[in-house]
Structure 1
């Protein structure tokens, strides 16, 4: 369904998170993003993909990155980003996730 509908994590779709009750995931996401002055629209476009489907999957991985930070309570420092890359590897099996952990910590 995700590949058919191709939902996006962009301000136009998640901006209402600020209005959600305090104890919801949406409110936690809004706090995470707001406390860091992040915007879901800040991600650069995906380039150099062979198909539109692959480009969407890569874009989706970028867009949900901060949702994972929120879900797992991971900070945006080297340790938090490295931990998140291990989780992303477990989810997507993309070698670049593990390579970024090795490259980011050396």
Structure 2
């Protein structure tokens, strides 16, 4: 049994336990950054309070309650990328499928059981990451990934995003590899954070019902202007 398979987060875990499990997951992720079990457990360990607040927010609206009840999925096993790619250019489905093809990556998968609404929102957040790249227009290079983390931090308050930003920013400022100057890099992160904070919550949006909708239409609906 691998180290990642032995890691789990107990129900109602204390802050100390959550930090310990997060630290253990981080060690695995350093050598296996796409590990689905550790990625999901790390996410839950640091963000359980955020997801608890979001569940309460969802429960206050009819649409939110419907999502919690139906628990739609954007996991790879639910996606027919070939069919999506056949949709007209510019539609969400076509651009989403092309995103995976161009970046030579596969859709998110997880091995963790969804025991409650908190687990569902944790999963939903992680499986919308690639869709957010398509919608926001942030690239998949180092700076683009950090811009997306800053956007998510502003929109949801995700703590793992704050941690990733802090670690990556310190490394980039010490040893710049992105070709972007320090002041430009920090300006772009701050702009992305403000954009995320000014945008509607994306986590309760049924992307599955909008594959044929133009990306431009959804961007206008879900994202504040990039230079706002």
Same fold by TM-score greater than 0.5: yes
| Unpaired stretches in structure 2, ≥5 consecutive residues | 1-65, 171-228
Larger radius of gyration: 2
Q: CA deviation at 1:93?
A: 1.3
Q: 63, 70, 75: which one pairs with 2:127?
A: 63
Q: CA deviation at 1:91?
A: 2.1
Q: Corresponding residue for 2:160?
A: 96
2:147 is the alignment partner of 1:83: yes
Q: Taking structure 1 as reference, are residues 6 and 31 closer, same or farther at Cα in structure 2, changes over 3 Å only? A: same
2:102 is the alignment partner of 1:32: no
What is the DSSP-based 3-state SS (H/G/I as helix, E as strand, rest coil) of the residue aligned with 1:34?
A: helix
Q: For this pair of structures, how many residues does the alignment match? A: 103
State the Cα RMSD in Å. 2.1
TM-score by structure 2 length?
0.41
What is the DSSP-based 3-state SS (H/G/I as helix, E as strand, rest coil) of the residue aligned with 2:94?
A: helix
Q: Taking structure 1 as reference, are residues 91 and 46 closer, same or farther at Cα in structure 2, changes over 3 Å only? A: farther
Q: Corresponding residue for 1:3?
A: 68
Q: Taking structure 1 as reference, are residues 95 and 12 closer, same or farther at Cα in structure 2, changes over 3 Å only? A: closer
| Unpaired stretches in structure 1, ≥5 consecutive residues | none
